[in-house]
């Protein structure tokens, strides 16, 4: 026990060096699992310091790296243990020691993001030897440095515009003197709703009210069951390809076909294989007295699939904002005032956690957010807890793990300058990467930092779907969502989020309250768009559906129960 405690203390000591007291060690260090780590060898800003497997040898080439330009350091290792006596924590600590010895200046850089990345796919020492083990050091590129400066200057410009001042930036003015930067282009990749498919799980349909009684009578007379649960699989053409649990398959299917019509499962608008399990009950006389059927979707390889009620398909949209640094744009033609108007309308919000998306296309809305708080922070009640999130501080998309993406920044303050500094820091450190964002992770982090807040205000990009809605059950506060960029309709993901938490949705014109009271089949209209509760979730009426309700779902050919060989 003493040895284990010492190792834990040693590891904690390592990760305390780049962190100030107000930032917890466990939040600064992010642990990730991935089947196999992929190196980015073509990018000169990714530097790799490999080590022999189970070795703590460091490479002297690290000495040439400028510590001030390091964005992140990842320790990559394999999770496989050849022996129960193997101590991964001890080995990681030794590797960290070797890194510090080669590069002692690391302890002076507080902004470095630290990751432990465990590879899980290799299952033997021989297989693990082909995997990368060591450190990935990511440094900032000149393009990223320029983008960060542009983002900071642009944020100041938007703030000036929303204050009604002339937007002046010496930095942007200097760029305008260059022939290739008179127009600054900032792009953000998002996903917009293309269509929603209603997935349907297969089921048995009785031909009439006496079907069950007649079917059970024939089964008791002519068919012998080898077990109480009979399993059958039908393919997407309604052919039975497998039956287990009966001695006379042909007779069983004959009577089943006579009294019942099974349907195939539809997912994503396509028919797929379905496994039916018929659960039979036997009475005290040994006779089959009842049965019911359950179904689950299957792949063509006869592997179970996860069934979800709805399959929502999004199309990739690249939205670009162009800033001409040689002119001052009139306020009325750049962006709406949704943030300031909603905040002004809802003075009742007190002691709230304010969670804000700072990725790509949110930049103009951040200008509104900061201008409003510059005027109201000291008089806005107890709304002094803020979380800014950027979906992972530019971590590789394939390493993003739900709930552990990172890029969340918390601050509690009445000081506007500190608030602005933290917002700008979060915005500069990450652009979002792929379209989904880590909204719920940010909420949970804020609630962890201050569990006493009573509600959550979320500034969200309407075109970006939260990647972590599966974590919503952990949120026990109402979430009030201010939707940015909702001119063409509300993203139903946020309607469902608000309905589940008992919160509200806010657009530039409307405050939509009491969504939790809307029942199945009921609808509401927001800015001319109609949204209805179907299967417990909001869907937008008029959105294309690849599966229409009048499809001939129950039409079965006479050859439904022909036995065919599995592929």
Is there a contact between 267 and 260 (Cβ–Cβ < 8 Å)? no
Residue that is written with structure tokens 């033609």 in the block: 333
CATH of 331-535 among 3.40.710, 3.40.50, 2.60.120, 1.20.140? 3.40.50
CA distances from 456 to 41, 383, 410 (A): 42, 10, 14
- What end-to-end distance do the CA atoms of the chain give, in Å? 56
- Write out the H or E segment, with its range, that includes residue 324: strand 310-324
Residues in the chain: 567
Report strand pairing: 523-526 vs 529-534: antiparallel
Distance separating alpha carbons of residues 303 and 197, to the nearest angstrom: 22
Ranges assigned E (strand) in 391-522: 408-412, 455-461, 479-484, 504-506, 511-512
Q: Where are the alpha helices (DSSP H) in 50-116?
A: 88-102
User: Which of left, alpha, beta for 543 (phi over 0: left; psi -120 to 50: alpha)?
Assistant: beta
pTM of the model: 0.62
Is there a contact between 119 and 76 (Cβ–Cβ < 8 Å)? yes
> Domain ranges in the chain?
2-140, 331-535
Distance separating alpha carbons of residues 194 and 317, to the nearest angstrom: 11
pLDDT tens, per residue, the chain with 567 residues = 334 333 334 343 444 443 333 333 344 688 889 999 999 999 989 988 887 644 445 556 676 788 889 999 999 998 877 666 677 888 888 888 878 877 888 878 888 888 999 999 988 888 888 899 889 999 988 878 877 787 787 788 788 777 777 555 566 555 555 554 545 555 666 666 666 667 788 887 888 888 889 999 999 999 989 999 999 999 988 888 899 999 888 889 998 888 888 888 888 778 889 999 999 998 888 899 999 888 899 888 888 888 776 666 667 766 555 554 444 443 433 567 899 999 999 999 999 999 999 987 788 899 999 999 988 887 766 889 999 999 888 888 888 888 888 889 999 999 999 999 999 889 888 765 556 889 999 999 999 999 999 999 999 999 888 999 999 999 999 999 999 988 888 999 999 999 999 999 999 888 999 898 999 999 999 888 899 998 889 998 875 443 333 332 323 233 344 433 333
């Amino acid at each position: 026990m003493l040895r284990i405690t010492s190792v834990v203390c040693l590891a904690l000591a390592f990760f305390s060096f780049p962190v100030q007291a107000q930032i917890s060690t466990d939040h600064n260090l992010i642990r990730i699992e991935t089947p196999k780590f992929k190196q980015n060898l073509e990018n000169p800003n990714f530097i790799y310091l490999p080590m022999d497997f189970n070795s703590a040898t460091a490479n002297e080439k690290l000495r040439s790296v400028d510590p001030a330009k390091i964005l992140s350091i990842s320790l990559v290792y394999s999770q496989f243990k050849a022996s129960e006596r193997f101590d991964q924590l001890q080995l990681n600590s030794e590797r960290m020691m070797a890194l510090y010895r080669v590069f002692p200046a690391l302890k002076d850089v507080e902004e470095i993001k630290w990751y432990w990345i465990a590879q899980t796919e290799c299952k033997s020492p021989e297989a693990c030897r082909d995997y990368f083990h060591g450190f990935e050091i990511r440094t900032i590129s000149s393009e990223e440095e320029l983008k960060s400066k542009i983002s900071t200057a642009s944020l100041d410009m938007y703030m000036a515009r929303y204050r009604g001042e002339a937007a002046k930036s010496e930095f942007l003015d200097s760029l305008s003197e260059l022939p290739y930067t008179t127009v600054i282009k900032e792009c953000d990749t998002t996903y917009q709703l293309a269509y929603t498919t209603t997935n349907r799980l297969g089921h048995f349909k009785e031909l009439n009210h006496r079907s069950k009684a007649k079917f059970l009578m024939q089964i008791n007379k002519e068919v012998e069951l080898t077990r109480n649960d009979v399993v059958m699989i039908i393919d997407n053409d309604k052919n039975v390809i497998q039956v287990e649990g009966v001695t006379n398959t042909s007779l069983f299917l004959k009577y089943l076909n006579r009294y019942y019509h099974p349907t195939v499962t539809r997912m994503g608008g396509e028919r797929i294989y379905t496994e039916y399990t018929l659960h039979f009950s036997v009475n005290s006389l040994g006779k089959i007295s009842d049965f019911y059927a359950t179904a689950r979707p299957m792949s063509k390889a006869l592997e179970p699939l996860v069934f979800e009620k709805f399959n929502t398909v999004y199309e990739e949209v690249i939205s670009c904002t162009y800033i001409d640094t040689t002119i001052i744009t009139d306020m009325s033609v750049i962006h709406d005032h949704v943030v300031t108007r909603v905040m002004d309308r809802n003075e009742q919000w007190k002691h709230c956690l304010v969670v804000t998306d700072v990725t790509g296309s949110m930049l103009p809305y951040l200008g509104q957010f900061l201008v409003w708080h510059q005027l109201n922070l000291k008089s806005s009640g107890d709304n002094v807890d803020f979380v800014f999130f950027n979906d992972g501080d530019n971590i590789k998309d394939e390493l993003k793990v739900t709930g552990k993406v990172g890029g969340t920044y918390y601050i509690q303050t009445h000081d506007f300058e500190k608030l602005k500094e933290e917002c700008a820091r979060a915005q500069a450190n990450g652009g979002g990467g792929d379209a989904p964002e880590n909204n719920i992770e940010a909420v949970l982090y804020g609630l962890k930092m201050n569990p006493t807040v009573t509600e959550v205000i979320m500034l969200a990009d309407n075109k970006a779907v939260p990647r972590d809605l599966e974590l919503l059950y952990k949120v026990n506060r109402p979430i009030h969502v201010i939707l940015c960029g909702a001119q063409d309709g509300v993203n139903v993901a946020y309607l469902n989020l608000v309905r589940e938490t008992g919160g509200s949705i806010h657009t530039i014109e409307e405050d939509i309250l009491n969504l939790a009271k809307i029942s199945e089949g009921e609808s509401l209209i927001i800015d001319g768009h109609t949204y209805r509760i179907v299967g417990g979730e909001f869907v937008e009426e008029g959105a294309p559906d690849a599966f229409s309700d009048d499809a001939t779902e129950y039409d079965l050919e006479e050859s439904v129960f022909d036995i065919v060989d599995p592929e």
